[in-house]
Amino acid sequence: MKFVLFGNIYQAKKSQYVLHLCHLLERRGVEIGMTSDFYRFLSEELHLKLPAITVVDDDNIEADLAISLGGDGTFLKAASLVGSQQIPILGINTGRLGFLADVLPEEMDEAFDEIFQGRYCTEERSVLQVTPQSGRLTLNPYGLNEIAVLKHDSSSMISIHTSINGEELTTYQADGLVVATPTGSTAYSLSVGGPIIVPHSRTFALTPVAPHSLNVRPLVIDDDAVISLRIESRSHNYLVSVDGRSESLCEKTELTVSKASYTVRVIKRENHHFFSTLRNKMMWGADVR
Closest CA to 96 of 73, 123, 66: 73
Which residues carry out catalysis? 72
* DSSP annotation of 103: B
| Alpha carbon distance, N-terminus to C-terminus of the chain | 51
Per residue, the 3-state secondary structure of 92-150, as one string, reads EECCCCCCCCCECHHHHHHHHHHHHCCCEEEEEECCEEEEECCCCCCCCCEECCEEEEE
Query: Do the Cβ atoms of 137 and 151 come closer than 8 Å?
Result: no
- 61's CB contacts (< 8 A; 6+ apart) are 4, 33, 81, 82, 85, 87
